[in-house]
Every structure is written in C-alpha cells, then in structure tokens.
Chain A
C-alpha cells in the first residue's frame, strides 16, 4: 500500500535561514509527488509537483524539491525562509492509473519561523 512519511512534526527555523522538510514515500512504481502548504483556517495550496523528467522541481514562493528514487524521498527546500512561510506543509503521493484518483498525504510538518 502507498504511504507517505513526514518524520518531523514541527520545525522551527530563523528567518533568513535555509529550510529542508523531509518526505519519504512507499510506492511500487514511479509515483506522482506533490507538496502542499496550508495556512491556518485555509485549504491546501499546491507548491510544486513531480511527475517525471528532471528530478529537481521548482515551485512557487521560492520552494524546490528533489526526487531521489534510491532513497524514496522528495524533500522540500528553500534557501532563505521568510516569516510568511510559517504554515503546515504536506507531502502527498498520487497513484498511477486505475480508478484511484485520490492523494495519500503525510501527516504534515508544522513550520514556525523565528524573527
């Protein structure tokens, strides 16, 4: 069965520092991978996605993620964090084919930013 693990429940970084949020997935074939961000009281906003091709993908708000098949990982990075990045981040995997269209989400990583 597919699954997504986000090992860090809560991370605190200083404004201007770099950020890496970890995501590991379990899937039998090449997955579709997504990162979403959720601010309090709001829905999820897509940051970036990986389907195929270049393993380093660029997203909105200066985020990027790298797909590493050998490590079953899709970690999210940002070189310099802004206070407005404080939110909860969700990694998700989508199934290929069949009738299953839903995403499998990790439990999320809450990011706090220190001034």
Chain B
C-alpha cells in the first residue's frame, strides 16, 4: 500500500502475556519510529531505526520492550510479560531520513491488557 501499515489494529490480551506489534513502512523510507500514545501522557517516543540499526532506544520504558527491523523494512515491537500500564495505542511512523524529513504515521495498534 501507499501508507504505513500496522497490524493488528486492535489487540486484547491478558496480563503477563507477550505481544508482538508489526509495522510496514512506506517503501523507500529508511527511518522508522515507534511511539506510544496513552491518555494523559500524550505521544511518547519509544525507539528509532535508521536502516536496521537503532541509534536511539532511549524511549523504551523497560527491558520488557524490544524492537527489531529486518531488511530495512518491516519492524516488530515486542512487549514481554505485559502489564496493565502497557495499554495504549502504539503508533509507527516512517520517513526518508531523520530530523527534517516529515514522518508519516500508520493508524496504530490499540493494545488493551486485561
């Protein structure tokens, strides 16, 4: 497709389970970003990829969170042993590069932890 694609669009899981969220960026975009959007917290930066490497992981909230990107394209965000405070919308964005290039966002994955 033409835009950033995220799957699943909604995910409900039990506390303690692991979840994997997927992001398929716009073709040709070398930079990929993950953000978390939750009530009262706004949009929080999680991690940034340039190609397959992640020069900035500063936003990952704990070691339960990890992300990878393969082939300079698809990225997965994994949350292990989910907690209720992980409930949020996880947004992925991509761009041609860093800093001054506009980021294009997917519609997000709404994660609910029971």
> A: which residues have CB within 8 A of B?
32, 34, 36, 41-46, 49, 51, 90, 94-97, 99-108
Contact = CB atoms under 8 A, between A and B. Distances in A.
Interface size grouping (class) on chain B: 20 to 34
A104 B100 contact: no
Given A32-B100, A95-B99, A99-B56, A44 B91 contact: yes
A104 B97 CA distance: 16
B28 interface: no
A54 to B, nearest CB: 16
Interface string B84-114: 0000000101010111101111111000000
A63 B105 CA distance: 19
Interface on chain B toward A: helix, strand, loop, or mixed SS? strand
Interface of B: 4, 31, 33, 35, 42-43, 45, 48, 50, 55-56, 59, 91, 93, 95, 97-100, 102-108
Contact of B100 (A45, A51, A102, A108): A51
A42 B104 CA distance: 12
Given A104-B45, A106-B42, A96 B99 contact: yes
Contacts, number: 66
Given A32-B100, A101-B98, A107-B42, 6 more contacts: A36-B105, A41-B107, A42-B107, A90-B43, A105-B43, A106-B42
B105 A43 contact: yes
Contacts of B105: 36, 43-45
Contacts of A99: 50, 55-56, 98
A45 B59 CA distance: 22
28 contacts: A32-B99, A34-B102, A41-B107, A42-B107, A42-B108, A43-B91, A43-B93, A43-B108, A44-B105, A49-B102, A90-B43, A94-B99, A94-B100, A99-B50, A99-B55, A100-B56, A100-B98, A100-B99, A101-B33, A101-B48, A101-B50, A101-B55, A101-B97, A102-B33, A102-B45, A103-B45, A107-B42, A108-B43
A43 B104 CA distance: 9
Contacts of B98: 99-101
